[in-house]
Protein backbone atom coordinates (compact mmCIF):
# COMPACT_ATOMS: atom_id res chain seq x y z
CA UNK A 1 0.00 0.00 0.00
CA UNK A 2 1.28 3.54 -0.74
CA UNK A 3 2.43 5.59 2.31
CA UNK A 4 -0.05 7.85 4.17
CA UNK A 5 -0.58 11.23 2.57
CA UNK A 6 -1.77 14.60 3.91
CA UNK A 7 -3.76 15.69 0.85
CA UNK A 8 -5.90 13.65 -1.57
CA UNK A 9 -4.18 12.57 -4.75
CA UNK A 10 -5.52 11.42 -8.13
CA UNK A 11 -3.40 9.23 -10.41
CA UNK A 12 -4.61 8.50 -13.93
CA UNK A 13 -3.00 6.14 -16.44
CA UNK A 14 -3.69 7.00 -20.08
CA UNK A 15 -1.93 4.96 -22.78
CA UNK A 16 1.48 4.89 -21.16
CA UNK A 17 1.20 8.35 -19.57
CA UNK A 18 0.93 8.72 -15.76
CA UNK A 19 -0.79 11.90 -14.55
CA UNK A 20 -0.81 12.86 -10.86
CA UNK A 21 -2.69 15.79 -9.32
CA UNK A 22 -4.68 17.03 -6.31
CA UNK A 23 -8.06 17.03 -8.10
CA UNK A 24 -9.81 15.04 -10.80
CA UNK A 25 -9.77 18.17 -12.96
CA UNK A 26 -5.97 18.28 -12.78
CA UNK A 27 -5.63 14.79 -14.31
CA UNK A 28 -8.41 15.19 -16.90
CA UNK A 29 -8.02 16.52 -20.45
CA UNK A 30 -11.72 17.07 -21.23
CA UNK A 31 -12.72 18.78 -17.96
CA UNK A 32 -15.74 21.07 -18.40
CA UNK A 33 -15.31 23.23 -15.25
CA UNK A 34 -18.67 24.34 -13.83
CA UNK A 35 -20.57 22.15 -16.31
CA UNK A 36 -19.24 18.99 -14.62
CA UNK A 37 -21.96 16.86 -13.02
CA UNK A 38 -21.55 13.29 -11.77
CA UNK A 39 -24.14 10.51 -11.72
CA UNK A 40 -23.57 7.43 -9.55
CA UNK A 41 -25.76 4.45 -10.45
CA UNK A 42 -26.22 2.08 -7.52
CA UNK A 43 -27.97 -1.25 -8.29
CA UNK A 44 -28.46 -1.66 -4.52
CA UNK A 45 -28.47 1.21 -2.06
CA UNK A 46 -25.00 0.57 -0.59
CA UNK A 47 -23.01 -0.23 -3.77
CA UNK A 48 -21.64 3.18 -4.69
CA UNK A 49 -20.88 4.05 -1.06
CA UNK A 50 -18.74 0.88 -0.90
CA UNK A 51 -17.11 1.43 -4.30
CA UNK A 52 -16.80 5.22 -4.38
CA UNK A 53 -17.30 6.64 -0.85
CA UNK A 54 -13.96 8.48 -1.00
CA UNK A 55 -14.55 9.73 -4.53
CA UNK A 56 -18.00 11.09 -3.60
CA UNK A 57 -16.52 13.01 -0.64
CA UNK A 58 -13.88 14.56 -2.91
CA UNK A 59 -16.40 15.53 -5.60
CA UNK A 60 -18.58 17.22 -2.96
CA UNK A 61 -15.47 18.96 -1.56
CA UNK A 62 -14.74 20.30 -5.06
CA UNK A 63 -18.38 21.52 -5.41
CA UNK A 64 -19.14 19.14 -8.29
CA UNK A 65 -22.84 18.17 -8.21
CA UNK A 66 -23.17 14.46 -7.37
CA UNK A 67 -26.42 12.58 -8.02
CA UNK A 68 -27.19 9.08 -6.75
CA UNK A 69 -29.70 6.76 -8.46
CA UNK A 70 -30.72 3.77 -6.33
CA UNK A 71 -32.17 1.20 -8.73
CA UNK A 72 -33.78 -1.50 -6.55
CA UNK A 73 -36.08 -1.02 -3.57
CA UNK A 74 -34.21 -3.40 -1.24
CA UNK A 75 -37.42 -5.24 -0.35
CA UNK A 76 -35.73 -8.69 -0.36
CA UNK A 77 -32.72 -7.58 1.69
CA UNK A 78 -33.76 -8.34 5.26
CA UNK A 79 -31.48 -10.05 7.78
CA UNK A 80 -33.95 -9.90 10.68
CA UNK A 81 -37.44 -11.49 10.34
CA UNK A 82 -38.88 -8.52 12.26
CA UNK A 83 -37.80 -6.23 9.41
CA UNK A 84 -39.25 -8.34 6.60
CA UNK A 85 -42.36 -6.22 6.03
CA UNK A 86 -40.80 -2.76 6.20
CA UNK A 87 -37.19 -3.35 5.09
CA UNK A 88 -37.62 -1.10 2.04
CA UNK A 89 -38.52 1.90 4.25
CA UNK A 90 -35.73 1.08 6.74
CA UNK A 91 -33.18 0.95 3.90
CA UNK A 92 -34.41 4.20 2.38
CA UNK A 93 -33.76 6.00 5.66
CA UNK A 94 -30.33 4.34 5.94
CA UNK A 95 -29.52 5.33 2.35
CA UNK A 96 -30.39 8.99 2.94
CA UNK A 97 -28.26 9.00 6.09
CA UNK A 98 -25.28 7.37 4.35
CA UNK A 99 -25.09 9.59 1.27
CA UNK A 100 -25.83 12.80 3.14
CA UNK A 101 -22.93 11.92 5.46
CA UNK A 102 -20.72 11.72 2.36
CA UNK A 103 -21.90 15.22 1.36
CA UNK A 104 -24.67 14.50 -1.20
CA UNK A 105 -27.76 16.73 -0.78
CA UNK A 106 -31.11 14.98 -0.15
CA UNK A 107 -32.58 16.30 -3.39
CA UNK A 108 -29.83 14.57 -5.41
CA UNK A 109 -30.68 11.09 -4.06
CA UNK A 110 -33.31 9.34 -6.21
CA UNK A 111 -34.96 5.98 -5.55
CA UNK A 112 -36.10 4.29 -8.78
CA UNK A 113 -37.99 1.66 -6.75
CA UNK A 114 -37.62 -1.40 -9.00
CA UNK A 115 -38.53 -4.47 -6.93
CA UNK A 116 -35.52 -6.38 -5.59
CA UNK A 117 -34.98 -9.87 -6.93
CA UNK A 118 -37.08 -9.52 -10.08
CA UNK A 119 -35.49 -6.65 -11.98
CA UNK A 120 -35.10 -8.97 -14.97
CA UNK A 121 -38.87 -8.43 -15.37
CA UNK A 122 -38.07 -4.76 -15.99
CA UNK A 123 -35.53 -4.99 -18.79
CA UNK A 124 -36.06 -2.58 -21.67
CA UNK A 125 -39.12 -0.32 -21.86
CA UNK A 126 -42.84 -1.08 -22.05
CA UNK A 127 -46.22 0.54 -21.31
CA UNK A 128 -47.06 0.85 -17.61
CA UNK A 129 -50.48 1.03 -15.96
CA UNK A 130 -51.27 4.56 -14.77
CA UNK A 131 -51.47 3.42 -11.12
CA UNK A 132 -47.91 2.01 -11.14
CA UNK A 133 -45.39 3.95 -9.07
CA UNK A 134 -42.82 2.88 -11.70
CA UNK A 135 -44.72 4.78 -14.44
CA UNK A 136 -42.75 7.59 -16.08
CA UNK A 137 -44.61 9.25 -19.00
CA UNK A 138 -46.78 6.18 -19.52
CA UNK A 139 -43.94 3.64 -19.61
CA UNK A 140 -41.73 1.64 -17.29
CA UNK A 141 -38.58 -0.51 -17.46
CA UNK A 142 -34.96 0.19 -16.64
CA UNK A 143 -34.22 1.83 -20.01
CA UNK A 144 -37.23 4.14 -19.61
CA UNK A 145 -36.16 5.24 -16.12
CA UNK A 146 -32.45 5.59 -16.98
CA UNK A 147 -33.16 7.63 -20.12
CA UNK A 148 -35.54 9.92 -18.21
CA UNK A 149 -33.09 10.54 -15.36
CA UNK A 150 -30.08 10.95 -17.67
CA UNK A 151 -31.93 13.67 -19.60
CA UNK A 152 -33.12 15.27 -16.34
CA UNK A 153 -29.74 15.24 -14.52
CA UNK A 154 -27.59 15.71 -17.67
CA UNK A 155 -24.38 14.26 -16.15
CA UNK A 156 -21.02 14.78 -17.80
CA UNK A 157 -19.64 11.63 -16.14
CA UNK A 158 -21.35 8.46 -14.92
CA UNK A 159 -20.09 5.80 -12.51
CA UNK A 160 -21.43 2.34 -11.75
CA UNK A 161 -20.29 -1.07 -10.47
CA UNK A 162 -18.46 -3.26 -12.98
CA UNK A 163 -20.39 -5.95 -14.85
CA UNK A 164 -17.57 -8.36 -14.01
CA UNK A 165 -19.59 -9.36 -10.98
CA UNK A 166 -21.38 -12.42 -9.71
CA UNK A 167 -24.44 -10.41 -8.64
CA UNK A 168 -26.95 -10.64 -11.53
CA UNK A 169 -28.50 -7.27 -10.60
CA UNK A 170 -25.13 -5.57 -11.14
CA UNK A 171 -24.77 -7.14 -14.58
CA UNK A 172 -28.33 -6.30 -15.65
CA UNK A 173 -28.11 -2.70 -14.45
CA UNK A 174 -24.80 -2.29 -16.26
CA UNK A 175 -26.19 -3.54 -19.58
CA UNK A 176 -29.39 -1.51 -19.33
CA UNK A 177 -27.56 1.66 -18.31
CA UNK A 178 -25.02 1.47 -21.13
CA UNK A 179 -27.69 1.24 -23.83
CA UNK A 180 -29.67 3.99 -22.05
CA UNK A 181 -26.67 6.32 -22.42
CA UNK A 182 -27.09 5.93 -26.18
CA UNK A 183 -30.88 6.42 -26.00
CA UNK A 184 -30.45 9.55 -23.84
CA UNK A 185 -28.13 11.23 -26.34
CA UNK A 186 -30.34 10.36 -29.34
CA UNK A 187 -33.79 11.59 -30.35
CA UNK A 188 -35.73 8.44 -29.47
CA UNK A 189 -38.61 8.72 -26.93
CA UNK A 190 -38.99 12.52 -27.03
CA UNK A 191 -41.44 12.58 -24.11
CA UNK A 192 -38.52 11.60 -21.84
CA UNK A 193 -36.77 14.96 -22.32
CA UNK A 194 -34.24 16.77 -24.47
CA UNK A 195 -31.38 14.60 -25.80
CA UNK A 196 -27.99 14.99 -24.14
CA UNK A 197 -25.44 16.84 -26.31
CA UNK A 198 -23.09 13.83 -26.23
CA UNK A 199 -22.69 10.46 -24.57
CA UNK A 200 -21.45 10.99 -21.00
CA UNK A 201 -18.05 9.64 -19.95
CA UNK A 202 -18.39 6.36 -18.08
CA UNK A 203 -16.30 4.75 -15.35
CA UNK A 204 -16.81 1.54 -13.46
CA UNK A 205 -16.00 0.75 -9.84
CA UNK A 206 -15.45 -2.58 -8.09
CA UNK A 207 -17.76 -3.72 -5.29
CA UNK A 208 -17.75 -7.54 -5.00
CA UNK A 209 -15.35 -8.71 -7.71
CA UNK A 210 -12.20 -7.51 -9.43
CA UNK A 211 -12.29 -5.44 -12.61
CA UNK A 212 -12.30 -7.35 -15.92
CA UNK A 213 -9.09 -5.51 -16.83
CA UNK A 214 -6.80 -3.09 -15.00
CA UNK A 215 -8.31 0.13 -13.59
CA UNK A 216 -7.17 3.49 -15.03
CA UNK A 217 -7.72 5.88 -12.10
CA UNK A 218 -6.54 5.70 -8.48
CA UNK A 219 -7.69 7.97 -5.70
CA UNK A 220 -5.77 8.12 -2.45
CA UNK A 221 -6.92 10.17 0.53
CA UNK A 222 -5.73 10.89 4.07
CA UNK A 223 -6.92 8.22 6.56
CA UNK A 224 -9.67 10.45 8.05
CA UNK A 225 -11.61 10.29 4.75
CA UNK A 226 -11.61 6.49 4.96
CA UNK A 227 -13.00 6.81 8.50
CA UNK A 228 -15.73 9.13 7.14
CA UNK A 229 -16.53 6.60 4.39
CA UNK A 230 -16.78 3.75 6.91
CA UNK A 231 -18.95 5.90 9.21
CA UNK A 232 -21.31 6.61 6.28
CA UNK A 233 -21.51 2.90 5.35
CA UNK A 234 -22.27 2.10 9.00
CA UNK A 235 -25.65 3.81 8.41
CA UNK A 236 -26.72 0.55 6.71
CA UNK A 237 -27.41 -1.03 10.10
CA UNK A 238 -29.99 -3.47 8.65
CA UNK A 239 -27.47 -4.88 6.17
CA UNK A 240 -25.59 -7.23 8.48
CA UNK A 241 -24.15 -9.20 5.53
CA UNK A 242 -21.92 -6.32 4.39
CA UNK A 243 -19.48 -6.82 7.28
CA UNK A 244 -17.05 -8.76 5.05
CA UNK A 245 -17.08 -5.98 2.43
CA UNK A 246 -16.53 -3.33 5.10
CA UNK A 247 -13.57 -5.28 6.54
CA UNK A 248 -12.10 -5.53 3.04
CA UNK A 249 -12.44 -1.75 2.57
CA UNK A 250 -10.84 -1.03 5.97
CA UNK A 251 -7.87 -3.31 5.33
CA UNK A 252 -7.48 -1.99 1.76
CA UNK A 253 -6.72 1.49 3.09
CA UNK A 254 -7.80 4.96 1.89
CA UNK A 255 -7.74 4.07 -1.79
CA UNK A 256 -10.27 3.60 -4.57
CA UNK A 257 -9.86 2.47 -8.15
CA UNK A 258 -11.93 3.17 -11.25
CA UNK A 259 -11.78 1.96 -14.83
CA UNK A 260 -12.74 4.21 -17.74
CA UNK A 261 -15.01 2.53 -20.28
CA UNK A 262 -14.01 3.09 -23.86
CA UNK A 263 -16.83 3.06 -26.41
CA UNK A 264 -15.42 1.20 -29.35
CA UNK A 265 -17.78 1.70 -32.27
CA UNK A 266 -17.60 -0.62 -35.24
CA UNK A 267 -15.29 0.72 -37.88
CA UNK A 268 -14.81 -1.55 -40.93
CA UNK A 269 -11.54 0.23 -41.73
CA UNK A 270 -9.99 -1.46 -38.68
CA UNK A 271 -10.20 -4.78 -40.52
CA UNK A 272 -9.09 -3.71 -44.02
CA UNK A 273 -5.49 -4.83 -43.67
CA UNK A 274 -6.30 -8.08 -41.91
CA UNK A 275 -7.47 -9.75 -45.14
CA UNK A 276 -4.86 -8.38 -47.48
CA UNK A 277 -2.03 -10.75 -48.58
CA UNK A 278 1.05 -10.47 -46.33
CA UNK A 279 3.88 -8.72 -48.14
ZN1 LIG B 1 -25.14 -4.51 -5.02
| Mean pLDDT across the chain | 93
What is the arithmetic mean of pLDDT over 224-253?
90
Distance 20 CA to ligand 1 centre (A): 30
Q: Which long-range contacts (CB under 8 A, 24 or more apart) does 100-104 make?
A: 101/228, 101/231, 101/232, 101/235, 102/49, 102/53, 102/56, 102/57, 102/60, 102/228, 102/229, 102/232, 103/56, 103/57, 103/60, 103/61, 103/66, 104/56, 104/60, 104/66, 104/67, 104/68
Q: Does position 166 have pLDDT exceeding 90, yes or no?
A: no
- Tell me the residues surrounding ligand 1 (ion) with CB < 5 Å: 43-44, 47
Q: What is the pLDDT of residue 52?
A: 98
Distance 13 CA to ligand 1 centre (A): 27
CB 42 within 8 A of CB 85: no
Q: What is the pLDDT of residue 15?
A: 87
Q: Does position 3 have pLDDT exceeding 90, yes or no?
A: no
Q: Which of 251, 165, 246 is nearest to 208 (CA)?
A: 165
What is the arithmetic mean of pLDDT over 189-195?
97
Distance 46 CA to ligand 1 centre (A): 7
Q: What is the pLDDT of residue 264?
A: 82
Distance 133 CA to ligand 1 centre (A): 22
Q: Does position 16 have pLDDT exceeding 90, yes or no?
A: no
Q: In the chain, what percentage of residues exceed pLDDT 70?
A: 100
Structural domains in the chain, CATH included, are 33-275 (3.40.50.10320)
Distance 170 CA to ligand 1 centre (A): 6
- E strands within 107-156? 109-114, 126-127, 139-140
Q: What is the pLDDT of residue 36?
A: 97
Q: Does position 1 have pLDDT exceeding 80, yes or no?
A: no
CA 182, CA 108: separation in Å to the nearest integer?
23
pLDDT band at 37; cut points 50, 70, 90: very high
Q: Is 177 exposed, middle or buried (0-12, 13-18, 19+ CB in 10 A)?
A: buried
Q: Does position 77 have pLDDT exceeding 80, yes or no?
A: no
Amino acid sequence: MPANIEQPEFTRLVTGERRVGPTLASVSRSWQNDKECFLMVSPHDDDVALGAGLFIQLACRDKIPVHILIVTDGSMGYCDPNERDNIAEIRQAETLECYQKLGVPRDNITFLGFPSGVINDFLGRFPAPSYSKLNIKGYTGLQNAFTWHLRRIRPTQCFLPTNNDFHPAHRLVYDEFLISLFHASGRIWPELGQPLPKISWLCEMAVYCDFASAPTLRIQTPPDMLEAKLAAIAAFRSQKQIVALVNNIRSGGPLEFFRAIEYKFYNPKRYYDLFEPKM
